Amino acid sequence: MEAIYANINATQKKYGIPENDCLTGANIAGFDKIATAMIAQGVL
């Protein structure tokens, strides 16, 4: 759970999202993870 929060917090800082908006940070972190995996597989 701590690693998940740390990942969300890092994403918030990277994209300039306020620290109290964890939902947006989590959504962007998830999208980024999926997009990176798709690029690695050659889908995009």
Confidence at residue 41, expressed as pLDDT on a 0 to 100 scale: 95
Dihedral pair phi/psi, residue 4, rounded to 5°: -65, -45
pLDDT in tens, 5-22: 999 999 999 999 998 999
Segments making up each domain of the chain, as ranges: 2-41
Q: What is the pTM of this model?
A: 0.82
Confidence at residue 30, expressed as pLDDT on a 0 to 100 scale: 95
At 44, is the pLDDT very low, low, confident or very high (cuts 50, 70, 90)? confident
pLDDT in tens, 28-40: 999 999 999 999 9
Handedness of CA 11, 20, 3, 23 (dihedral sign): negative
Q: Which residues contact 21 (CB under 8 A, 6 or more apart)?
A: 12
Q: Which residues contact 15 (CB under 8 A, 6 or more apart)?
A: 25, 28
Q: Which among 29, 13, 12, 32 has a CA at the least distance from the CA of 21? A: 12
